[in-house]
Amino acid sequence: MLVFLVASLMVYRCKADYLLGAGSYDITGPAADVNMMGYANPKQNAAGIHLRLRSRAFIVAEAGNDGNRIAYVSLDACMASQAVTTAVLSKLKTRYGDLYTEKNVALSGIHTHSGPGGYLQYLLYSITSLGFVKQSFDAIVDGAVASITQAHHNLKPGSIFVNEGEILDANINRSPSAYLNNPAEERKRYKYDVDKSMLLLKLVDAQHGPVGTVNWFPVHCTSMNNTNTLVSGDNKGAASRFMEDWFDHRSVKREPSANTSRVRSKTSFVAAFAQTNEGDVSPNTLGAFCGDTNLRCDFNHSTCNGSNELCIARGPGYPDHFASTEIIATRQMESAIELFANAKDLLKGPVNYRQSYVDFTNISIAAQSATTCPAAMGFSFAAGTTDGPGAFDFKQGDTDGNPFWKAVRDLLRKPTEKQVACQSPKPVLLDTGEMLFPYDWAPAILPIQILQVGQLFILSVPSEFTTMAGRRLKDAVKATLVEKSNGKYDKEVRIVISGLTNAYSSYVTTFEEYQIQRYEGASTLYGPHTLSAYIQEFKKLAEALVLDTQVAKGPSPPDLISKQISLLPEVIPDTTPAGIKFGDVSRDVARNASFRAGDSVEATFWSGSPRNNLMTEASYTMVEFQSAPGVWTPAYDDDDWSVQFVWKRPSATIKWKVPKDALAGTYRLRLFGASKALMGKIDNFTGISSEFVIV
Ligand SMILES: *[C@@H]1O[C@H](CO)[C@@H](O)[C@H](O)[C@H]1NC(C)=O
Ligand SMILES: *[C@@H]1O[C@H](CO)[C@@H](O)[C@H](O)[C@H]1NC(C)=O
Ligand SMILES: *[C@@H]1O[C@H](CO)[C@@H](O)[C@H](O)[C@H]1NC(C)=O
Ligand SMILES: *[C@@H]1O[C@H](CO)[C@@H](O)[C@H](O)[C@H]1NC(C)=O
Ligand SMILES: *[C@@H]1O[C@H](CO)[C@@H](O)[C@H](O)[C@H]1NC(C)=O
Ligand SMILES: *[C@@H]1O[C@H](CO)[C@@H](O)[C@H](O)[C@H]1NC(C)=O
Ligand SMILES: *[C@@H]1O[C@H](CO)[C@@H](O)[C@H](O)[C@H]1NC(C)=O
């Protein structure tokens, strides 16, 4: 018996194929005043919190001290940013020397359109945020480093299981007219015009069981529309939170630790819903309709009677975008749980990587005797998409441009004839690649990377690939791996694209989709052959991985941090009328009322700006439960679906929608905040509502 036990223990031990670690840290940033990244809607400025944003990190190392390792990080941010990546790597170097570098670290954004902007270094991406926002930048950099550090300290022997399955009702193509321009024979190979497959990894500690999971499923995080002002991880951020709660079987949430600091235990399970080839993929599954007539928008141009502004896509919970977010999050979460529960295929084999920097503005593509061009945005870029249309009279599918805007453009910069020819048929609206004042408007040098764990290959792209562009890249890399490895890698190889990773450079469509010039084509920066350039350069990385050769390092991307312009005004001093203190209740919960599941409880407090204290790894809000006479236990906070924190100078409102599983009993709402005095001193305060009863 003992022998059997020891033997089976040893078998269990031997199953530890890798060292694994997971980590997670708050990256919410400034939840006030800052323009949200994604829709480029100047009116969409943060004014509170729907869900906190997190950085979720996973490290996989070969067993043994000198083995290779990779760090994969999924950020609840709109995208990765070269500036953030540079800063994160530099901090990691200080801590760990050459353990984590540009070669083996991947930072990927989930693409939420409801996070604070201003953390990218190229000018085009920080126009609506009024330039660089240091608080946004620091929150992401510090949180990413903290999550990687946690994962590093958590490294223990374990195994990784992989599973794949379909989700049929969580995404649709938002530019089907462009997809239809791909060759018919190619389209025939696929059942859908978007990828429906979710690929999931399950990380299991040999001693303690599952420590985390990461999956990739293509869908824009645009369930929350461009009127939302509450910071949120949208459908993927919510799915992460839901799955982490599912794993922890929580009803009344965390144990109290300190009154403002919410401490997740070191062994907390980390569930990342990472982004992949979502370029033309919308979560708004009912499709696009005209707001005035309720008719379908024009198929080719997504216009309503000639104009784009009224053509808006609808999510499954229309007209309530919270409901749409919850539905698309739940569909992803339920599939992930099923894949997680049934994951049986083990990853086995080396941990490896190849990375290089490539100047995308002038790549010769031998196979097509073509070249890429300096970056440029087409007219249809300004039309936006059906997930969030742009202003003025731009429309998608525009290969001509309009003379008025051409004149305006020429004031900024008139594109050269060579550039116009190179980018054709894209009519150039913004010649960003040749606009260098006051600093570069668009990137030229981009990082590309392959991370390998056994038979899984993760392709890190610094952009948003459309469905078919992603398929072509994956096929090309797979063909190279199979061909060059002499049968070592066969059809069992699994390839996944990690979207919006390490840097950001807008979209990548196929050559055929580019001809149609929908939003995605107009935002494909380096001309019609951009995808071919990616494929050519990724094949070099794949070949080097298999043949164990090195790749050229390539030119270094510029560090533009010192040149950044910041025009976002400082927080003005906070004040209250005489006799009133910060934290005093200005509108209390309904007195002596009792509430039940589904009811909303609200209280409003005199408050200072959330930018005075970001409450990182803590919370502005707390729903407290009376667990014994006079003992108040934190039950729900900023990061709970049921709680909303809404800021509108000079007040903060806590809104709590009583969830189904809330315990009956006595509760109160509590606010944590900070105020700025005339001379700039920051003071913390707290405020408490009256008690109320849940029956
Ligand atoms: C936190 O709790 C401690 C004691 O438990 C108390 O002294 C302190 O004032 C509290 N801080 C806030 C901001 O409520
Ligand atoms: C869309 O454009 C294509 C190509 O120009 C054309 O054949 C088709 O009829 C258009 N469809 C609609 C619904 O307008
Ligand atoms: C389209 O616009 C024209 C001219 O502005 C107007 O007469 C017509 O009623 C509009 N049609 C719809 C469906 O809105
Ligand atoms: C955006 O979402 C809000 C909140 O759910 C909703 O009231 C509004 O109608 C939505 N806007 C559009 C254009 O769907
Ligand atoms: C583009 O690259 C080619 C070599 O591949 C070089 O001859 C040419 O000068 C480059 N053009 C620019 C504008 O840098
Ligand atoms: C609330 O209820 C308690 C006991 O049920 C009572 O003593 C108190 O007067 C009530 N307060 C108000 C404002 O009605
Ligand atoms: C306010 O709280 C923050 C943490 O949330 C802390 O770092 C800071 O020192 C506090 N300020 C004061 C004046 O106590």
Least confident of 222-226, 229-233, 280-284, 637-641: 637-641
Distance of CA 299 from the midpoint of ligand 2 (Å): 8
Which helix (DSSP H) or strand (DSSP E) does residue 142 occupy?
helix 134-153
The annotation status of 464 as a binding-site residue, yes or no, is yes
301 labeled part of a ligand binding site: no
pLDDT at 375 over 80: yes
Cα gap 70→101, rounded to integer Å: 9
Q: pLDDT digits over 274-301, tens only?
A: 999 999 999 999 999 999 999 999 999 9
Residue 402 is assigned to a structural domain of this protein: no
DSSP 425: T
Q: Is residue 573 part of a domain?
A: no
Assign 3-class secondary structure to 274-319: ECCCCCCEECCCCEEEECCCCCECCCCCCCECCECCCEEEECCCCC
526, 561, 596: which is the final residue of a domain? 561
Task: pLDDT band for 368, please (50, 70, 90 cuts).
Answer: confident
State whether 71 and 160 are in the same domain.
yes
pLDDT at residue 591, as a whole number: 81
**What integer pLDDT is reported at residue 424 of this predicted model?**
97
- End-to-end CA distance of the chain: give it in Å, rounded: 54
Tell me: do 26 and 153 sit in the same domain: yes
User: Are both 546 and 625 inside the same structural domain?
Assistant: no
Residue nearest to atom 12 of ligand 3 (CA): 305
With the most atoms of ligand 3 within 8 angstroms of its CB, the residue from 289, 298, 305, 393 to mutate is 305
31/368 Cα distance (integer angstroms): 48
Q: Is the CB of 364 under 6 A from ligand 5?
A: yes
| Alpha-carbon gap, residue 493 to 509, rounded angstroms | 24
CB 593 within 8 A of CB 695: no
Q: Are 625 and 663 in contact (CB under 8 A)?
A: yes
**pLDDT reading at 507 higher than 70:** yes
pLDDT for 420-475, tens place per residue?
999 999 999 999 999 998 999 999 999 999 999 999 999 999 999 999 999 999 99
Q: How confident is the model at residue 12 (pLDDT cuts 50, 70, 90)?
A: very low
Residue 156 forms part of a structural domain:
yes
Tokens in use for 442?
A: 């668009």
Residue 579 has pLDDT above 90, yes or no: yes
pLDDT at site 547: 96
Same domain, 469 and 616: no
pLDDT tier at 393 (50, 70, 90 boundaries)? confident
How many CB atoms sit inside 10 A of residue 348's CB? 12
Strands 428-430 and 45-49: unpaired
Report the residue among 362, 419, 526, 536 best suited for mutation to probe ligand 5: largest number of ligand atoms under 8 A from its CB.
362
**547 and 650 belong to one structural domain:** no
Q: Are residues 488 and 636 in the same domain?
A: no
For residue 410, what pLDDT band results from cuts at 50, 70 and 90?
confident
Tell me which of 545, 561, 577 is where a domain ends.
561
Q: Of 205-209, 408-412, 505-509, 666-670, which gets the smallest average pLDDT? A: 408-412
Q: Which domain holds residue 614?
A: 585-694
233 and 327 inside one domain: yes
pTM above 0.85, yes or no: yes
On whether both 41 and 163 belong to a single domain, the answer is yes
* Nearest CA, atom 6, ligand 3: 305
Q: Are residues 655 and 608 in the same domain?
A: yes
**Cα 288 to ligand 3 centre (Å):** 18
Confidence of residue 2 (pLDDT cuts 50, 70, 90): very low
| pLDDT classification of 9: cutoffs 50, 70, 90 | very low
pLDDT at residue 189, rounded to an integer: 98
What pLDDT is attached to residue 406?
79
The packing angle between helices 82-96 and 134-153, to 10°, is 40
Provide the 3-class DSSP secondary structure of residue 20: strand
Asked if residue 113 belongs to a known ligand binding site, the reply is no
> Given pLDDT bands bounded at 50, 70 and 90, which one contains residue 538?
very high
Task: Supply the CATH number for residue 637's domain.
Answer: 2.60.40.2300
Of 561, 594, 628, the domain-final residue? 561
pLDDT score of 401 more than 90: no
- For 616-631, what is the mean pLDDT? 93
> Poorest-confidence range of 16-25, 403-412, 664-673?
403-412
Give the nearest ligand 3 atom to 292 CA. Answer: 14
Which residue is closest in CA terms to ligand 4's atom 11? 225
441: CA distance to ligand 5 center in Å? 21
Same domain, 38 and 142: yes
Residue 652 shares a structural domain with residue 517: no
- Structural domain includes residue 328: yes
pLDDT at 252: 39
The rounded Å distance from CA 274 to ligand 4 centre is: 26
Residue 387 domain flag: no
Question: Is residue 430 domain-resident?
Answer: no
Same domain, 148 and 285: yes
Query: Atom 13 (ligand 5): residue with closest C-alpha?
Result: 362
Domains: count for the chain: 2
Instruction: Kindly name the residue from 74, 129, 175, 282 that is annotated as catalytic.
Output: 282
Q: Is residue 21 part of a domain?
A: yes
Which ligand has the shortest distance to the CA of 298? 2
In a domain, 608, yes or no: yes
Q: How far is CA 384 from the centre of its chain?
A: 19
**How far apart are the C-alpha atoms of 435 and 119, rounded to whole Å?**
20
> How far, in Å, CA of 272 to CA of 199, rounded?
12
> Which protein residue has the closest C-alpha to ligand 7 atom 7?
613
Evaluate: CB of 683 within 6 angstroms of ligand 1: no
| 282 has catalytic annotation | yes
Q: Is 674 helix (H, G, I), strand (E, B) or coil?
A: strand
Local structure of 332: helix, strand or coil: helix
pLDDT of res. 3: 41
